Structure 1
């Protein structure tokens, strides 16, 4: 028996459920902005693989006719709309309006029919119209990827579940500046709030949706 066998069994009993996929899905890609890709940025995370995965998923989502929603973070000068979050994390100054760190990285350009939703806090739902937008379109399933896993992805995941959406987090399309919080948060989201899936699994789901169109 492995040292963690008892703990593994406990998790399997307490948190072994699966949400499964819904009938109508949307893809939400969280904060893929230059601050996480530029080595000069205090938020640099070296997450190019996550962006590459997200772009492949986005292509499949568009082929399947899914709404695609991007989020970014944007603050007024001085961060006057950032509240305690802006006070707590000095690096958020990278997202003051006009900063090059808030731009989309090379190779990413939201299309005209894709929604770009600006936020000031970790969750894409907090203080935004996201829940109403999804509900009005009859969406019952959200697919999440983004940066960072332990921050804005996790916050959005918890709020998505709390708003009643089936939630899938694509592990390959998420990234963090350190592997330990990345892995720990994927584990915990999968246990409690979402189904954490691979890029391959979500591409297969999107292929089924495309076939059914």
Structure 2
């Protein structure tokens, strides 16, 4: 990011909304395809998963709800719609595909909610917003894949639903640094606070269980 770009955006953007009082952690679409070099989805995002798992451990220690999302389509893609038509790698998310499974190191716990979706946002066409509201959640901490796709879409919808939104930079990943950094910059400017892993772990450590 150039100094000119930062100065330009600072004239209009840069407000921080801060963490909420009752957050939930969302791990967006960590699936095997992103970690298998033989798959079109492969993105070399092992560091993002490792970061997300550390944040998850801190969230669980703090008693913060943890939600995992995945993408699952009917075997004939009957519910794929235009997203499935546009994005060819979504074929890996047909029900039963090994590429749609959780990657090594990530297994949902019994007290963690899994939300299956068909579109980019974790909120679109799912019960996630109403579920979070019902348990008094006022804010979300976003991690996941990919930064320019489902993380960004979920970020915009989280803010639109009224949740204070934080995106954990190291716990998100994309197939190229350019889109990753550009979307973190844009989300931080307009929709969320982009925070570091250290910052969010420290915040979670200060919560009362």
The TM-score range, normalised by the shorter chain, is over 0.9
Runs of 4+ in structure 1 over 3 Å off: 4-7
The separation in 2 between residues aligned to 1:41 and 1:6, in whole angstroms, is: 39
The separation in 2 between residues aligned to 1:200 and 1:109, in whole angstroms, is: 23
Q: Would the alpha carbon gap of residues 57 and 5 (structure 1) be closer, same or farther in structure 2, given more than 3 Å must change?
A: closer
The separation in 1 between residues aligned to 2:104 and 2:26, in whole angstroms, is: 19
Over the aligned positions, Cα root-mean-square deviation in angstroms equals 1.2
1:72 is aligned to: 70
1:101 is aligned to: 99
Local SS of the residue matching 2:11: helix
The separation in 1 between residues aligned to 2:101 and 2:166, in whole angstroms, is: 26
Local SS of the residue matching 2:175: coil
Shift in Å at residue 16 of structure 1? 1.4
1:197 to 173, 195, 200: 195
Alignment of 1:1-213 (within 5 A): 5-209=3-207, 212-213=208-209
The separation in 1 between residues aligned to 2:85 and 2:6, in whole angstroms, is: 39
The separation in 1 between residues aligned to 2:97 and 2:65, in whole angstroms, is: 28
Shift in Å at residue 80 of structure 1? 1.2
The separation in 1 between residues aligned to 2:5 and 2:61, in whole angstroms, is: 42
Shift in Å at residue 103 of structure 1? 0.4
Shift in Å at residue 45 of structure 1? 0.5
Shift in Å at residue 5 of structure 1? 4.6
Local SS of the residue matching 1:105: coil
Instruction: Please give the TM-score of this superposition, normalised by the length of structure 1.
Output: 0.96
Instruction: Please give the TM-score of this superposition, normalised by the length of structure 2.
Output: 0.98
Q: Which runs of 5+ in 2 are unaligned?
A: none
Q: Which runs of 5+ in 1 are unaligned?
A: none
How many residues matched? 209
Shift in Å at residue 9 of structure 1? 2.4
Local SS of the residue matching 1:76: coil
Local SS of the residue matching 1:174: strand
The separation in 2 between residues aligned to 1:6 and 1:73, in whole angstroms, is: 39
